[in-house]
Structure 1
Amino acid sequence: MRTLQIGHSPDADDLFMYYAIAFGWVNHSNLSFKNSALDIQTLNEKALEGVLDISAISFGVYPLVVLEQSLLRTGVSFGNGYGPKLIKKKGKNLKKNFKVALSGAHTTNAMLFRIAYPEARIIYKNFLEIENAVLNGEVDAGVLIHESILQYDESLEVEREIWEIWQELNQQDLPLPLGGMCIRRSLPLSVAITCEQMLTKAVKVALENKSLLSKMLQERNLIRVDSKKLETYLNLYANEDSITLSQTQLKAINTLFKIGYDHKIYSQILEVEDCLIPLEYEEFRNS
């Protein structure tokens, strides 16, 4: 039995898409996973360091790890008319150099934010600490992610949706690529293909058993929101579009990479199709 280290965030969509494996609903005779729940910036940093075999990441960090990591087609989260929110205290006017808290230097929302607000003074905090940093005046504004976008203190208001920035930059009404998964290129290709198949099946099984899985996650105190908010959040970020990348989603990721290159964030333009596990290997192997 080969055991691989897999990292995912503690937010509801990642837990939901993975836990069919943790609960034993999806398994393999020769392969198992040891999972760790870490905040998204820590996961991005571990991907840069090559620590984990498989990891949830921000699409925004992927061009920096392309030589060591392949992208998986499954376990993806996109915003479609929604996404992270730049919030501030109600009535506050933000100066050009306002101080802002972001969830990590390599997140997709941080990349888009820096393009839109080049003069802002950025600090990075765990995403769970951002709302309080705005409330106590440590920062002028903050970008909320994950379940934090569903409800926040009534004294706060949305200054701008990251979705709006994305739409202005892409000009094609594409979904916003937020989170995906990557796998170490050093793993045998047959193992990588099996991992992608298992993780894809886990998302399918989760969606087929949504009510039961959601209940089990809540009973074990793995979820930070109540059942109503969980349903809302999963509808946004863990849905049929999370099972495998569509052509529209691939186009959106390519557009994100091109925007990053045009703004000198990345040193090269990537085509996401070249970054995926080559599934034709399995066909050749079995032919």
Structure 2
Amino acid sequence: MKTITVAHSPDADDIFMYYAIRFGWVNLEGIKFDNIALDIETLNVEAFKNTYDVTAISFALYPKIREEYALLTTAVSFGEGYGPKVVKLKDKKLKRNFKVALSGEHTTNAMLFKIAYPEARIIYKNFLEIEDAVLNGEVDAGVLIHESILTFDDKLEVERELWDIWCELSGGDLPLPLGGMALRRSIPINRAIDYEDTLIKAVKVATTHAKPLSKMLLERDLIRVDAPTLEKYLSMYANADSVALNEIQYKAINRLFEIGYENGFYDTLIKAEDFLIPREYKELRNS
């Protein structure tokens, strides 16, 4: 049996979308999917090294790894009127060069933040450490991601929503592309299509059986939040729109790539549709 490594972040939506495979609800004959959970910036860095067969990534990273990884069409997370939050202590006034903690150099939120706050002094921390860094005064502000946007301490307040920054930069009519999945190009195309199909099926099964799957995750202490928070969080980031990229989502990703290119983050401008697994290969092969 061949083993395929699937790396994802430890936040609730990634775990939720993968665990239909882990629990055996979805499988692929002859293939064992072996998952590993790491924070998103670690996954971004490992993608540069071509470490995992399938990996979660920040959408903002993708143009930098396009030669080694194909962009998958499933297990995607977008913000729709919400997203990461810039937080600070209540009533604190931020200077132009305020010190801020971000969850990683290659994250989508980091790119948007840098464009909006070019004079901020940035340090990088594991996303689980950012809230405490703001509370103890190590930094003036921090960008919260994942479940922290719902559970942060009441001593903190939102300085600015990354959603608002995105709307200003993008034109305001597109969802915010946050996280997606990518697959190593060295995998044969026919198998790559099979792996993507399996992942699509897993996300679809997860989102259509959200209640029993959520209960199993909570009972096994695989999630960091309580049941009501999990339900709310999954409604935001692991829903029917996570199963397969749609036209509006492609437009949003491409707008993100345009913004990054215009601001010097990428060496060339690409379109997401040009970097998917060429599914027509299977049709031609079977014709």
What is the TM-score normalised by the length of structure 1? 0.99
Offset at 1:122? 0.3
2:86 maps to 86
1:276 maps to 276
- Over the matched positions of the two proteins, sequence identity in percent amounts to 64
CA–CA separation in structure 2 for the residues paired with 1:262 and 1:166:
14
Offset at 1:209? 1.2
1:125 maps to 125
| Amino acid of the structure 2 residue aligned with 1:214 | S
Offset at 1:77? 0.1
Q: Does 1:75 align with 2:75?
A: yes
Q: How does 1:140-159 map to 2 (within 5 A)?
A: 140-159=140-159
2:255 maps to 255
Offset at 1:22? 0.4
2:37 maps to 37
1:10 maps to 10
Offset at 1:6? 1.0
Q: How does 1:200-279 map to 2 (within 5 A)?
A: 200-279=200-279
Query: Aligned to 2:101, what secondary structure does the other structure show?
Result: strand
2:187 maps to 187
Offset at 1:267? 0.6
CA–CA separation in structure 2 for the residues paired with 1:230 and 1:77:
15
Offset at 1:32? 1.7
Alignment RMSD (CA, Å): 0.6
Kindly provide the CA deviation profile for residues 137-195 of structure 1, in whole angstroms up to 9, marking residues without a partner as x: 00000000000000211111000000000000001410000000000000000111001
* Contact persistence 2:166–2:172 (CA under 8 A): no
Query: Aligned to 2:147, what secondary structure does the other structure show?
Result: helix
| Amino acid of the structure 1 residue aligned with 2:115 | I
CA–CA separation in structure 1 for the residues paired with 2:11 and 2:172:
29
What is the TM-score normalised by the length of structure 2? 0.99
CA–CA separation in structure 2 for the residues paired with 1:153 and 1:70:
39
| Amino acid of the structure 2 residue aligned with 1:71 | L
| Amino acid of the structure 2 residue aligned with 1:138 | E
After TM superposition, what 4+ stretches of structure 1 lie above 6 angstroms from structure 2? none
Offset at 1:227? 0.3
Offset at 1:277? 0.7
Offset at 1:207? 1.3
> Which 5+ residue runs of structure 2 have no aligned equivalent?
none
Offset at 1:2? 1.4
